[in-house]
Amino acid sequence: MPWAGGNISFNAGDDPAATVAARASLLDALRPRGLSTWAEVRQVHGDALVEEPFAPEASALADYRMQDSPDADGMLSSAPGKGLLIKTADCQPLLLAHRSGRHIAALHVGWRGNRCDFPWSGVTRFCAAYGLDPADIFAVRGPSLGPSRAEFVNFDREWGHAFRPWFDPHSRCMDLWNLTASQLESAGVPRRQIFGLDICTSLNAEHYFSHRHDPGSGRQASLIWIEA
- Domain spanning 16-224 has what CATH number? 3.60.140.10
| Contact assessment for residue 84 and residue 38, using Cβ atoms and an 8 Å cutoff | yes
Q: What is the pLDDT of residue 64?
A: 95
Instruction: Order across the sheet with 220-224: list the strands.
Output: 37-39, 82-88, 220-224
pLDDT band at 2 (very low <50, low <70, confident <90, very high): very low
* Mean of pLDDT values over 17-42: 96
H-helix segments, 45-191 = 58-61, 111-115, 118-130, 155-158, 176-186
* Mean of pLDDT values over 173-179: 98
User: Measured between alpha carbons, how far is 41 from 109 in angstroms, rounded to an integer?
Assistant: 13
| Contact assessment for residue 94 and residue 140, using Cβ atoms and an 8 Å cutoff | yes
Q: What is the pLDDT of residue 192?
A: 98
Q: What is the pLDDT of residue 13?
A: 86
* Mean of pLDDT values over 206-212: 93
pLDDT band at 207 (very low <50, low <70, confident <90, very high): very high
Cβ neighbours of residue 161 closer than 8 Å, sequence gap 6 or more: none
| 157-169 pLDDT, tens digit each | 999 999 999 999 9
Q: What is the pLDDT of residue 218?
A: 94
Domain boundaries, the chain: 16-224
Residue 11 to residues 16, 82, 169, Cα–Cα distance (Å)? 9, 23, 34
User: Measured between alpha carbons, how far is 107 from 205 in angstroms, rounded to an integer?
Assistant: 22
pLDDT band at 4 (very low <50, low <70, confident <90, very high): low
* Mean of pLDDT values over 70-98: 98
Q: What is the pLDDT of residue 216?
A: 86
Q: What is the pLDDT of residue 228?
A: 86
Q: What is the pLDDT of residue 67?
A: 86
pLDDT band at 109 (very low <50, low <70, confident <90, very high): very high
* Mean of pLDDT values over 206-215: 92
* Mean of pLDDT values over 104-115: 98
Q: What is the pTM of this model?
A: 0.95
- Asked whether residue 3 carries a pLDDT value surpassing 60, the answer given is no
Q: Count of CB atoms within 10 A of residue 90's CB? A: 25
Average pLDDT, the chain: 95
* Mean of pLDDT values over 198-212: 95
- Asked whether residue 80 carries a pLDDT value surpassing 80, the answer given is yes
User: Measured between alpha carbons, how far is 87 from 109 in angstroms, rounded to an integer?
Assistant: 10
